[in-house]
């Protein structure tokens, strides 16, 4: 990428509130930082310990702008909350981060679940069967593609970058449920481990290619 193109892209990101500049360094902020944080969380396995409590986040104001509704939905998804109904989101409280929205007019509470089995509620909030199928498929594709990255062919980067992006998107969105609430043999955990190996191979190939092209 040409230096001028890079400077233009950085300037636009600063103007859009996606980067901040200080002392010659740039840092992600706002929407892009939230997305990166969600991606980083998805690469780590969820905590196995869970005390049975749940988070509930609900909008308490009668009217909001379209932009406010979209921002709230994005935040809830980044925090791996499941939508029970419009403006009411829930998840098991096995994650460290509290789902208290930065938006005004949102209340959050943590407590035990009564009146419905936790596994039944999870099935309402997330399509576990679909998630399992997607994880299994991605895992198979990654297993087939990793030898290509180890082959030494720089074109392997172009052949595998779409698969890498698909795995990142999936791990960013999957709900990080505790083991007690997923079926036996949950393939998402295996996918997470397989992707770490795949990503390391991708990084090695990328570094080698950049160095070779000076």
CATH class of segment(s) 53-124? alpha beta
- pLDDT tens digits for 136-171? 999 999 999 999 988 888 898 889 999 999 999 999
- pLDDT tens digits for 40-55? 665 677 788 999 999 9
**Does the pLDDT of residue 37 top 70, yes or no?**
no
Percent of the chain with pLDDT over 90: 49
Instruction: Please give the model's pTM, rounded to 2 decimal places.
Output: 0.78
- pLDDT-derived band at 20 (thresholds 50, 70, 90) equals confident
**Three-class DSSP labels, the chain:** CCHHHHHHHHHHHHHCCCEEEECCEEEECHHHHHHHHHHHHHCCCCCCCCCCEEEEEEECCCCCCHHHHHHHHHHHHHCCCEEEECCEEEEECCCCCCCCCCCCCEEEEEEECCCCCHHHHHHHHCCHHHHHHHHHHHHHHHHHHHHHHCCCCCCHHHHHHHHHHHHHHHHHHCCCCCHHHCCCCCHHHHHHHHHHHHHHHHHHHHHHHHHHCC
For the chain, which residues make up each domain, given as ranges? Answer: 3-30, 53-124, 126-212
């Amino acid at each position: 990428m040409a230096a001028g193109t890079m400077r233009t892209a950085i300037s636009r990101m600063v103007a859009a509130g996606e980067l901040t500049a200080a002392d010659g360094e740039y840092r992600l902020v706002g929407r892009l930082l939230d997305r990166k944080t969600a991606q980083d969380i998805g690469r780590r396995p969820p905590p196995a310990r869970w005390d049975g409590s749940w988070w509930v986040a609900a909008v308490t104001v009668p009217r909001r702008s379209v932009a406010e509704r979209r921002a709230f939905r994005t935040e809830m998804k980044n925090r791996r909350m499941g939508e029970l109904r419009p403006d009411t989101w829930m998840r098991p409280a096995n994650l460290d981060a509290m789902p208290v929205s930065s938006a005004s007019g949102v209340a959050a509470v943590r407590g035990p679940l009564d009146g419905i089995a936790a596994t039944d509620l999870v099935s309402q909030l997330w399509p576990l069967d679909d998630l399992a199928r997607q994880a299994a498929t991605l895992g198979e594709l990654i297993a087939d593609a990793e030898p290509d990255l180890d082959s030494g062919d720089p074109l392997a980067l172009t052949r595998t970058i779409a698969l890498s992006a698909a795995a990142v998107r999936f791990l960013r969105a999957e709900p990080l449920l505790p083991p007690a609430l997923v079926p036996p043999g949950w393939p998402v955990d295996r996918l997470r481990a397989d992707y770490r190996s795949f990503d390391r191979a991708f990084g090695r190939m990328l570094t080698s290619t950049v160095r070779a092209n000076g």
